[in-house]
Every structure is written in C-alpha cells, then in structure tokens.
Amino acid sequence: MDISIFGMGYVGAVCAAALADRGHGIIGVDVSKDKVDLINAGRSPIVEPGLEELLAKGVKSGKLRATSDIIDAITATSLSMICVGTPSKKSGDLDLEHIEAVCRQIGAALRGKQERHTIVVRSTVLPGTVRNVVMPIIEEASGKQFGPQLGLAVNPEFLRESTAIRDYAEPPMTVIGELDESSGDLLASIYEDLPAEILRRSIEVAEMVKYSCNVWHATKISFANEIGNIAKAAGVDGRDVMEVVCQDSKLNLSDYYMRPGFAFGGSCLPKDVRALSYRATQMDVEIPLLKSLMLTNQGQIKKAFDLVESFGLRKIGMLGLSFKAKTDDLRESPLVELAEMLIGKGYELSIYDKNVDYARVHGANRDYINSKIPHISSLLKTELSDVIDESEVLVLGLRDRSFEKYVNGSRADHKVVDLVGFMPELSDEDMQGICW
C-alpha cells in the first residue's frame, strides 16, 4: 500500500521505517527541511536503536522517501497517518496547534483528489478530538465528507522509546478505532503480519485506550516509588517488595514499570496524566489519585536532590541526562530537572550522556538543547573519565550497563546516588539508593 506519514518524530519515523521494511511505499512528510534531508539520506532524525539501519534500507530499496510537499504526498498515496506532536499547554490541556495545521493542509490537498482517501490519526489525542476537531477541519478544507468520500480511523501506538523497533514488530495489541468498516478493513490489512490481536472499536474508545494505558503506566511507576520510599524508611529493600508483588501476573500486571526508582518523564506519561486530569476536572469528576501522580513524581526528583545534598559535597557528576537510556529525548526528563535544581543551589555540576552529546551536534534535538537548556548543555562532557575525575558525588541516572561499575566508586572518596537500581545492597554511608 502507498502510505503518507505526517510528522517525522519518534512515532512517525519508526512507523515509516517499519512499514517500508514490510514492503509498503512510504512518503514521510515534515515541515522541517533538516528532518526531510536526514530521512532521504537514510539517516535517523532521532536516537533510537536500529532505526537508522531500517531507514537506510527503506531509502535504498526505493520504498521510502521524505518530502515537505503535501500535495505530492496526498496524490501519491491512498492512506495518510497523522503522527504530529500534541504537547501540553500550561493548563495541562493538549495543544492541538500541530494537529489542526496538518489537518488543514491535508484537507486542502484532498480538494483536488478524486479517489477515496483514508486518514489515520496516530497522534495521542483526548476522546472527542477526532470527531470534533479533525473531522470538521478536513471536511471544510477538502469540500468532502467522511464516510462516502473519505475514510477515517484512530490507531494508537504503543511504542516505547529505546525499544520502538521491537515494539512495532511485537505489539501487545493493535487497536483500531474506525469510522466505518471499510476504513477499519484497509487499516487492518497493513497489520495482518504482526503477532498481535487486532481490536476494532469506535473512534472514541481507541482515543481513550491510549490514555488509559499511559496513565496506568504512570500510576504503576508512582505506586512502586511510594512503596519503595516507605520500604527504605523501614529498613526494607523496596525492590524485593515489588518483586514479590509482580509475581501476580494474573491481574494484568507488567513488571516493566513496577520497579521502584526515579521519576517518570518523556513525551508521553507526564503529558497524558495532565491531559486526562484536566478533562476529568472539566467534567467535575473527582480523581485524587491521578491528580497526585505529578506531585508524587516531582517529589521523587526532590528526593534525589535531598540524597545528593545529604553528602555535604559540592562537586556532582551526573551519568545520564535524557529521560531514558538509549535515547536522546530530553522532553520532561526528570534528570534535566534534577540538574537545574543542583545548578540553582550552586553545586559544581558535570554531566555525561553520549546520546545527548551526539544530538547536541547532529540530532533533531539539537535546536532544543541549544535554545532551551544551553546552561545545561554547556556542562556536558564528551569523555566519561572527565566527569569521574571532576566529581565527588556520582549520580547514576540511566540504566546504562556501562555505569554499573561505578556503583562502588572509581575512587575511594566517591559517594554514589543510585537512581536506577544498580546497587546490590541497601544504602550505606557512601552509597544512597533512591528506594533501597
């Protein structure tokens, strides 16, 4: 099938590479010339293991190309996926600026097309957004109607950064929210080779499923962290507690998130917790647990700061800055917040994160790093040894196995704060674990 994908960020780039690898003709669309040029050169605009190889393979085979020409993309394809970002507003509601803009552009391009075209929304949007925002904008701009002339579906993604290629190939489920049966049939046909059940529901159910999953993941992380904090105060290893809790797999518990540790971050969980909480408040629904999630998460960052402060030393080395290992994504990274707290209190800070350091020069996150956090970017070191030599306290912030050897300190006078669970034992005077 010939498919156009709007937005070459994490979701769009991964989907483009994976679908091209399965023989589909893919046109990636983005307003950023840098991203378009990177894709056409077979290079990845983001740090994601295995993605650049798939992109290069797709470009070489002729199955994948990128463009900023929307009319070209619509004319040459029969199905379009919307994968643009939906960031948070200050209120917690979603900012639909990018969704609205791309819908207007797609609609205008569809005005001159005779064949039926199907629109698939993969961006994360609150229930009602597709029917109340996406459909009216496209219908007005195109002069066409959904149903007889245009197909429509919602197809939430369940891709985790750093494992997105594997997650695409081995999804927990494939969810399709369809406006009509023909739209669902067309979309389902591109997933027939995946080893997962295809669940076809209404558009609103599909929209809500994505939020339910992400808020559940955020809930599990915060719950495990609170249990871990209580356990540590009682002299118990929170990891052992939650390991036992996770033995109950009959009630759909996943141990991927059920680990005490540092705060959650990234482009999905914080944003989706805020958005669902905002919508519940609009409907006068009481949600004390959900409203507490961001407070609990912020408290975990403050707890990490307190552990660093407890040593009474001023030279701090942070091993990791992105929100998760094997990615360069700094969006709502709790390690960035921790770094800003340390800087604000006058600590001497040095940071090592090889992926962020690469992105500072080459990646799509370069502009964000240089414009939004230049004060932190300037503290990044290219060599890990420089951070080790300059520091009195090491903060192990990412689950990068190369950091594990520093649990016991590379120098006798090193203190360690372990935020990810490398420590084999409970905390002592030289090593502090955040939940153990």
- Residue positions annotated with a catalytic role: 268
Residue of 76, 80, 75, 157 whose CA lies nearest to 118: 80
Q: Is 72 left (phi over 0), alpha (psi -120 to 50) or beta?
A: alpha
- Radius of gyration over alpha carbons of the chain, in Å? 23
Residues 6+ apart with CB under 8 A from 312: none
Three-state secondary-structure class, residue 81: strand
Q: Provide the edge-to-edge strand list for the sheet that holds 174-178.
A: 64-67, 25-29, 2-6, 79-82, 117-121, 150-154, 174-178, 198-201
The rounded distance, in Å, linking the Cα atoms of 82 and 362 is 26
Q: Do 9 and 85 form a contact (C-beta atoms < 8 A)?
A: yes
Q: Do 29 and 6 form a contact (C-beta atoms < 8 A)?
A: yes
The rounded distance, in Å, linking the Cα atoms of 384 and 404 is 13
Three-state secondary-structure class, residue 351: strand
Residues 6+ apart with CB under 8 A from 317: 349, 350, 351, 352, 387, 388, 390, 391, 393, 394, 395
Encoded amino acid at 260, one letter: P
Neighbours of 285 (CB within 10 A): 10
